[in-house]
Amino acid sequence: MMFIITSFFSLKTYAETNSSSILMQPFPHISPEQKLNHSLGQALFEKLWVASPSSTTASDGLGPLFNARSCHSCHLNNGKGHAPTELQNGVEVPSFFLRLKQWPRPDSNNSKTAVAPDPIYGTQLQTNANINIRPEANLTLTYQYKTVTFADGTTSELRKPVYQLNNLSYGKLSNATQLSGRVSPSIIGVGLFDSITEADLLNSADPDDKNNDGISGRVNTVWDKTMQTWRVGRFGWKATTATLTEQNQSAFNGDLGISTPLFPNPYGDCTTHQVACLSLPNGNSPHMENLEANSEVIKVVDIFTALSAPPKIRNLNRETFKEGKKVFDLLQCSACHTSVQRTGKDTTFPELNNQTFYPFTDLLLHDMGQELADVGKEFDALGSEWRTAPLWGLSLSKLASGKQSFLHDGRARNIDEAILWHGGEGQKSRDSYLKLDKSQRSLLIRFLESL
Ligand code: HEC
Ligand code: HEC
């Protein structure tokens, strides 16, 4: 699974800027019409939705239960979100929420949903709500701390979140319901991910570790709501969604409470037990295809996310970059964080056909050990399995969103901590990292910050 990088130059379309808009520049080679769609999409990504009824039906439909009022609230300028600090009220940090899933599943294991929802609270905890209805609960986090010592005696402090729910408004959670923290990832190059062929993803998988490197990448097999068929998953921390449009539409529905062509329920994640929620007015309107966000809205939001260009790799010609890359390869980071990917020749966004790009992920699931695990499968992904996180733009999220955090639940406050949490198939890499001296470590980190 090792790749040798000969050149990073083949994709000439990477965004170059140093402002907070660095992760939302359109690819320069797209048509003027698509550039216009990209900016219309950006406006809708940033738009604050309001409750129904409102004076402008084009903007209403929020909630009744929701996590945030816009995509942008969580994916600020396409950058990463972060987790609440110790005892901070969760509602102040929309970019973090709890996935709820019953495990064992009460329904069939072949169900066409990633998880079985909590019977009352649904598939995610909404800590926010319109004025006539109570939010589902107050969420606070506490952290357990531990210290890790490097071979050279340096130490790093790690923190692991523990979740506390107070004021559950609609009764108890099911005893089977498991909580899993999720922080908003940055939205970089998702159109390129959408355009890799299934065959390429399946070819790069090595479920039985036939090449004996101790690393067995698997694909998640997920239900594609558009095509009504089982497909390779690629989006989300556990690769539970097959296509970009389904990911975007499920965000509209689950995070904002907005109906879309694929998710026509205007009450979002509100369940049949939440009677008050279901009795409130909704924003489905006849001139919007009886939806709150119709196919035109989805089309331009898809274009904004897909056609925002990834950042250009920096410091490429420096000696330190090459040295850092050597450490990265030596530690076998590249076995999962595959440098190069290619798109197919006939994809949803023709602008993205036949592109070579450098996301540093194989997009496959890996067992990352018990410390990072949650409980219960999501489609095929086990509790301990996560999609290899892309490493491009790692240091630029801070520029975009003013914050940074790493790993699925945002527990890592910097890159060093993220590496130190690697267990399972990543354990060997992590152990080798602990043996590096200070200068090798900083070469590695500076390399990662240049991606
Ligand atoms: C409440 C915070 C929140 C809001 C609002 C939100 N997202 Fe997300 N987004 C997330 C989280 C968390 C994930 C990861 C989900 C998971 O792994 O379960 C995610 C994942 C994604 C991904 C997949 C990225 C990848 O690399 O896999 C895309 C694309 C995305 N969101 C687009 C959107 C769009 C478009 C909107 C607005 C309609 C939106 N999001 C609104 C939190 C949010
Ligand atoms: C066995 C596969 C595997 C190996 C080997 C591996 N990683 Fe990872 N890496 C992952 C997965 C999977 C995640 C996401 C885990 C999570 O979110 O809980 C991740 C997450 C990360 C993150 C956090 C990214 C983010 O946006 O949150 C960084 C940084 C990282 N890895 C760097 C490294 C480095 C450096 C090495 C080598 C020392 C390495 N990884 C080796 C699979 C791997």
Residue ID of nearest Cα to ligand 2 atom 10: 388
Which residue type, as a one-letter code, is found at position 425?
Answer: E
d(CA 269, CA 277): 10
* pLDDT score at 11: 46
Residues with CB under 6 A from ligand 1: 67-68, 71, 73-75, 94-95, 97, 99, 182-185, 187, 190, 235-237, 244, 247-248, 251-252, 255-256, 301, 305
pLDDT at 8: 52
- pLDDT score for 14: 66
**Residues sharing a CB contact under 8 Å with residue 317, sequence separation 6 or more, in sequence order:** none
- Report the residue count for the chain: 451
Amino acid at site 222: V
Q: How far is the CA of 224 from the centre of ligand 2 (A)?
A: 27
Q: Rounded distance, CA 421 to CA 426, Å?
A: 9
pLDDT score at 251: 98
Among 128, 196, 232, 247, residue to substitute to test ligand 1 (most atoms within 8 Å of Cβ): 247
Give the chain's end-to-end CA distance (angstroms, integer): 20
Counting Cα atoms < 13 Å in the Cβ hemisphere of 28 gives: 9
State residue 249's pLDDT score.
Answer: 98
Please tell me the predicted confidence (pLDDT) of residue 6.
Answer: 45
Pocket test for ligand 2, best of 395, 422, 425 (most atoms within 8 A of CB): 422
- Ligand 2 pocket, 445 CB below 6 A? no
pLDDT, mean of each 10-residue run, the chain (451 residues): 45 70 95 98 97 83 97 97 96 97 91 97 97 96 98 98 97 98 98 98 94 93 98 98 98 98 97 96 93 97 97 94 97 97 95 96 98 98 98 95 95 98 98 98 98 95
Q: What is the pLDDT of residue 179?
A: 98
The pLDDT score that the predictor gives to residue 191 is: 98
Residue of 329, 336, 421 to mutate, ligand 2, most atoms within 8 A of C-beta = 336
